[in-house]
Structure 1
């Protein structure tokens, strides 16, 4: 017997664990709100019935008192006319109506007390519902913030240092390659510049012959 109880406990624990994992706090709050709204609706219907009973009881008291007043007038009229038998019947019915009215009044007071209690309970239920709605808004905001932070943390954790390091290394290699290309271009342009300079310094035959003729025409001064 103990083994089966332990197996049941373990199974229930696992089921509860799974349920805890899939519970959505916002959905839970919405469900609690719907249940509270249903309770309020039931309370309002019960209050409506209670008010109906109270009004009906009040009307019954009024009718009984009106009938009692009528029998009182009939009894007085019978006494004035000397109709003793009629007067006794009227008085007897008047006394019965008085007792009924007193009983109805007592019942009415009990109904009013029940109505008051029901109104107070319904007001408390509505107040609790309003507080829960305000708290639900706050909790929903907190849940959204927590979910956002959780997603941010998950995204942050997903970044791997090795991946970032490899990216930086690739960027560095690219920059080094660009610098090497610039340097190689500079080295290639240097011989051309030197050739151009040597060419510019080269003296042709025409310049040489002109300079010799110029010197021949000049007199040598000792």
Structure 2
């Protein structure tokens, strides 16, 4: 056997040994794609929940704002007519609705912000998915060519390739394919960009509960005094 033949056989043996240390790259790429599709579905569901929460909080915000204004007017009318007890009750209700108004405004803004952020990440994830699908098709073709060159129609793979994020996994598979191609003397004309996937996790916050009554009486007394000063100035 010539030196050239011995080198060629050594090259093929090295390539085959490398393949045996890899998981099935095609199956791995398909799994990365499925995982990313599931992440996108999860982001879509969360986006719908946040949008629904934003609408709900916005509706409640409008409602408690109107109720606060209504009880303010009711307190003014009762005080003008000398019904102080009724005025105090109306002011107490007004303060309660004002507290809820602040909390619903905070929750409404938070849900709106989360929805905007999710929409941006969802668009980015969809673009990433399309890029990885194209990369999978290109790598699968290169793997088939390398298998043919190594005269292996059904290579046996063992576990040893550590999975990670979809993009990182694709890059590691491509590194293995590039090594394999180099061992076999196959040419290539593609070098893919690296990227990282993203995900979002979020959720609802509970609707606000009624504020405690600590200091409520003093606040009502202060508002009654403000109404009296306002009526004297009219």
Which residue of 2 is the match for residue 70 of structure 1?
70
The runs of 5 or more residues in structure 1 that have no matched partner are 1-16, 153-222
Deviation at 1:87, TM superposition (A): 1.9
Aligned-partner Cα distance in 2 for 1:134–1:18: 25
Please give the alpha-carbon distance, in whole angstroms, between the structure 2 residues aligned to 1:139 and 1:58: 49
| Count, aligned residues | 136
TM-score by length of 2: 0.49
Per-residue deviation, 1:123: 2.8
Q: CA separation in 1, counterparts of 2:116 and 2:22?
A: 43
TM-fit CA distance, 1:61: 1.0
Question: Residue in 2 aligned with 1:135?
Answer: 135
Distance 1:20 1:98 in 2: 69
Equivalence map 1:140-219=2 (5 Å): 140-150=140-150
Tell me how far 1:148 sits from its aligned partner: 4.5
| 2:55 corresponds to 1:55 | yes
Q: Which residue of 2 aligns with 1:98?
A: 98
**Which residue is equivalent to 1:211?**
none
Task: Give the root-mean-square deviation of aligned CA atoms.
Answer: 2.8
Cα gap change, 1:102/1:148 in structure 2, threshold over 3 Å: closer, same or farther?
A: same
Whole-angstrom CA distance in 2 between matches of 1:116 and 1:79: 46
Q: Which runs of 5+ in 2 are unaligned?
A: 1-16, 153-234
Taking structure 1 as reference, are residues 81 and 19 closer, same or farther at Cα in structure 2, changes over 3 Å only?
A: farther
Of the two, which has the highest radius of gyration?
Answer: 1
Structure 1 CA distance for aligned equivalents of residues 61 and 20 of structure 2: 58
Q: Secondary structure at the match of 1:82?
A: coil
Partners of 1:98 and 1:22 lie apart in 2 by 63
Note the 1:79-90 alignment, pairs <5 A.
Answer: 79-90=79-90
Q: Provide the residue aligned with 2:37 in structure 1.
A: 37
Matches of 1:106 and 1:61 in 2, distance apart?
A: 10
Distance 1:142 1:53, change over 3 A: same
Partner Cα distance (1:23, 1:29) in 2: 10
* Corresponding residue of 1:172: none
Deviation at 1:36, TM superposition (A): 1.1
Asked whether 1:112 is paired with 2:83, we answer no
1:105 offset after TM fit, Å? 1.1
Q: Give secondary structure in 2 for the equivalent of 1:116.
A: helix
Greater relative contact order structure (CA < 8 Å, 6+ sep): 2
Cα 1:19–1:89 change in 2 (3 A) is farther
User: In structure 2, how many angstroms separate the alpha carbons of the residues matched to 1:22 and 1:131?
Assistant: 23
Give, in angstroms, the shift of residue 89 of structure 1: 1.7
Give the Cα–Cα distance (whole angstroms) in 2 for the partners of residues 50 and 19 of structure 1.
Answer: 46
Taking a change above 3 Å as real, the CA distance of residues 18 and 50 of structure 1, as seen in their structure-2 partners, is: same
What is the DSSP-based 3-state SS (H/G/I as helix, E as strand, rest coil) of the residue aligned with 1:26? helix
